[in-house]
Homo-oligomer: A and B are copies of this chain.
């Protein structure tokens, strides 16, 4: 286990800065004295783009590579044309650092508000593919802006890319008590990619005889997420379906204010990146209203990824205890961060 952490921090835009500050506060508080935490902040996002026109220059991409991990707040602002920062910064990082496992756990903590009636029990994790599918940026537009325009989006899927993420999902399912893995796709319509996913899913599954498997079309999966969320243990799915399902999953299990995510390069060739699922929420930025819990839970994933299991568990338990105790009382971003830091240090 490494006794030092060299962390790149990309606070980004809007509430990103505020929640990342709390995430770091809790991280510092939980680490044992002998672990050296070094952080380097990178000024990337809407502000930088407005000032310089840059999204992610090569030197910074190169510099980021050298860190053990990246903590990211949120990227995006309505003043920047849609797609510029997403493609030029966030997705560029995920693709350049081969973050093929996008891990998004959903757990209904005590006293969090779910829009679902009757307190369902929710505890599953989505393993979303992060480097392929409709996210590759392939496609184009012909006769743009004219009545004869044609626009395409190409979903690229490779056996190489699918097998590695499917295998990762089986490993995770096998390590959980319920050992259940659900593949979500739309193989009755997207027959080329869908059948490849399903065939690989079935083939790899033979190596994990203890894992129970299930397949759902993405439309049906959204139904079960709201009517029977307890049905799910581990879900594996493609990049776009994973995007959609994890926002829905966040909404039904405590809201986007507590949904964490990890962009993992399991091979360890590149630093993995940890970020809340939520966006930069410019409407509430700078007001101390943002809930830093999603970032703190992303720090849990970061700690676990770097081998600090006891510390990860301590932070996760602190969040659960904090949510139980605060019982919905409104608090500022800072107050929540402070309370969690005190708890894990204590």
Are the CB atoms of B199 and A226 closer together than 8 Å?
no
User: A151 CA to B143 CA in the complex, in Å?
Assistant: 27
Are the CB atoms of A157 and B147 closer together than 8 Å?
no
Q: How many copies does the complex hold?
A: 2
Within 8 Å by CB of A222, from B76, B148, B222, lies: B222
Q: A138-167 interface mask toward B, CB cutoff 8 Å, 1 = contact, 0 = none?
A: 011101111111111111111110010000
When A87-B189, A91-B189, A252-B226 are in contact, do A154 and B156 touch as well, CB less than 8 Å?
A: no
User: A1 CA to B140 CA in the complex, in Å?
Assistant: 45
Interface residues of A in 169-200 (CB under 8 A from B): 186-196, 198-199
Contacts of A247 in B (CB 8 A): 219-220, 222-223
Total residues of chain A contacting the partner, CB 8 A: 67
- Nearest chain B CB to A188 CB, angstrom units: 4
User: A154 CA to B218 CA in the complex, in Å?
Assistant: 18
Within 8 Å by CB of A190, from B144, B153, B250, lies: B153
When A220-B247, A247-B219 are in contact, do A157 and B150 touch as well, CB less than 8 Å?
A: yes
Are the CB atoms of B189 and A218 closer together than 8 Å?
no
Q: Name which residue of chain B comes closest to A148, CB basis.
A: B159
Contacts of A189 in B (CB 8 A): 83, 86-87, 91, 134-135, 240, 243
Are the CB atoms of B187 and A83 closer together than 8 Å?
yes
Judge if A37 is at the interface, Cβ distance under 8 Å: no
When A154-B152, A154-B154 are in contact, do A139 and B250 touch as well, CB less than 8 Å?
A: no
Known: A152-B157, A219-B244, A226-B251. 16 other contacts (CB 8 A): A82-B188, A83-B189, A115-B116, A134-B134, A134-B190, A135-B189, A139-B193, A141-B196, A144-B196, A152-B154, A155-B155, A218-B244, A222-B244, A223-B250, A223-B251, A226-B248
Name the 8 nearest CB pairs between A and B, nearest first. A219-B247, A149-B159, A222-B248, A117-B117, A83-B191, A153-B155, A223-B251, A151-B192
